[in-house]
Structure 1
Amino acid sequence: MANHGYLPRDGKRITAWQIVKGLRECYGLTTGFSIFLSYVTWIVLRKVGPVDLYEIGKHNAVEHDASLVHHDTPAGETYAPIEIDRELLDEFVKEARTEVEVDVPSSDPEKTKKEKLSLLTIADVGRARVRREKQSPPLSKFHAEIARGEVAIILGVWETKTKEVTGTRMDWLKLWLGEERLPEGWRPTKQVGMFETMKRAKGIKLASEAVRREEGATPEQ
């Protein structure tokens, strides 16, 4: 959000309310959901006043191991790595196995054209979470919920529906994760709330459990 001016670009002395406004304006989260996410973060960090953005990356506060695109935090380090691991990003991109055709505007306002897109589905995210969690230290139930919830939010923000499948555009997701910027010209056109996000997160959990059963592993409790 700082890269697009929704938060101070220097990442300094950010208030919980600035995060609330940023989540609403940048991603279209509802006010209630934005307040919940922001103030719970401050509670977990044990903060009252402003924080610098790097503090939100304190390891095992809201930050966690088994990130889809970051290395795990090395032993003894207080803050998580911020660099994107390109190999992890590429592995995540490969999880999007559904290709669809969608109508997009053309230069002629009376017409549309077809464009092929790769969509990331809830099942894909479930598979990706299992893969990363096998490579990392065990997550607590709290951090496992956060890990699922993070992706569940963006699945809602960029939700794309066809007659056959619902997912999220992987080209946009790759841009957002890999370059930390939003798609050119994109603005939120709908609100994303807490309860629909919880429903998606539960879907990711069920998808992960199905993968673990297929692999003969014990499903998460």
Structure 2
Amino acid sequence: MSSHGQHAFIAPGQGDVRSPCPALNTLANHGYINRSGKGISASSLIDSLTTIYHLSSPLATTLVAGGFLSCCTGDIGEGISLDALAAHNKIEHDASLVHDDALPGAKFAPTQVNQTLVNKLLDTYPDGLGINDLAEARWSREMMLLQEKKPKLNVVHEEIGHGEVALTWLLMKDNTNVVKAKTLRQWYGVETFPETYVIPTEEISLEMARTVSAEIGRIMKRHS
């Protein structure tokens, strides 16, 4: 992959839109999908997910279909805008690791990264995060909902949360199976490809993602 030339990092400008997902925002910031974040076709999303992140076609298709079916409010043939994926409690959910919760009654959640949450996450895990750490971080954020007297995540959004950190681990782990703090700061905090990122040599399958996601869930239950 290339992060230079036509695929150099460019932060979103005025009128550009982004989602709550660092993986998709990074693709837009590097021009692998429309830099504006608007009118993105299902085929271009699937192609980028399989090419740049080496997700299997079934996994990429499942993720993209879920986004379109849940959040696309117009003609599917015209594509989707990334900010549509911020529709609250569709795919997006409270207790994001690095985004604020949706305001009460809001139809859409914030898409801007909360750098205070990024700093807190990385200060807690300065040596990076393995599977156990990612599970603990998710559990801690979900416990904050109870402390703030907000509704607990439902089962569907709990599973989505497990899946998000599972993909983070599968995509960004190093050869010690740890996602380094610097890697997360660049991907979560800046929404750019980390300096150390290389396309995974092993295709990330739907079954692989499900297995790691289930393990995240089991670890979180042990914390509870």
- Kept in 1, the 8 Å contact 2:29–2:192? The answer is yes
Among candidates 49, 53, 62, match of residue 36 of structure 1: 62
Classify the secondary structure of the residue corresponding to 1:160. coil
Could you tell me which residue of structure 2 aligns to residue 172 of structure 1? 183
- Please list every run of 5 or more consecutive structure 2 residues that lacks an aligned counterpart in the other structure: 1-26, 146-150
Q: Does 1:130 align with 2:155?
A: no
Q: Does 1:159 align with 2:170?
A: no
Classify the secondary structure of the residue corresponding to 1:119. coil
Change (3 A) 1:119 1:73: same
Could you tell me which residue of structure 2 aligns to residue 102 of structure 1? none
- Kept in 1, the 8 Å contact 2:102–2:109? The answer is yes
Give 2:64's aligned amino acid: S
Could you tell me which residue of structure 2 aligns to residue 193 of structure 1? 205
Classify the secondary structure of the residue corresponding to 1:125. helix
- Structure 1 runs, 4 residues or longer, greater than 6 Å off: none
Among candidates 125, 131, 142, match of residue 96 of structure 1: 125
Q: Give the superposition deviation at 1:185.
A: 6.8
- Please list every run of 5 or more consecutive structure 1 residues that lacks an aligned counterpart in the other structure: 98-117, 213-221
Greater percentage in helix: 2
Q: Give the superposition deviation at 1:159.
A: 2.4
Identity across aligned pairs (percent)? 29
Q: What is the number of equivalent residue pairs in this alignment? A: 189
Could you tell me which residue of structure 2 aligns to residue 203 of structure 1? 215
Give 2:69's aligned amino acid: I
Distance 1:159 1:194 in 2: 18
Among candidates 91, 106, 115, match of residue 62 of structure 1: 91
Classify the secondary structure of the residue corresponding to 2:178. strand
Q: Give the superposition deviation at 1:94.
A: 3.2
Could you tell me which residue of structure 1 aligns to residue 129 of structure 2? 120
- Kept in 2, the 8 Å contact 1:24–1:30? The answer is yes
- Kept in 1, the 8 Å contact 2:172–2:197? The answer is no
- Kept in 1, the 8 Å contact 2:72–2:84? The answer is no
Classify the secondary structure of the residue corresponding to 1:120. coil
Distance 1:185 1:204 in 2: 24
Cα deviations by residue, 1:128-158 (Å, 9 ceiling, x for unpaired): 1111112223111111111110110121112
- Kept in 2, the 8 Å contact 1:126–1:211? The answer is no
Q: Give the superposition deviation at 1:77.
A: 1.3
Distance 2:194 2:154 in 1: 33
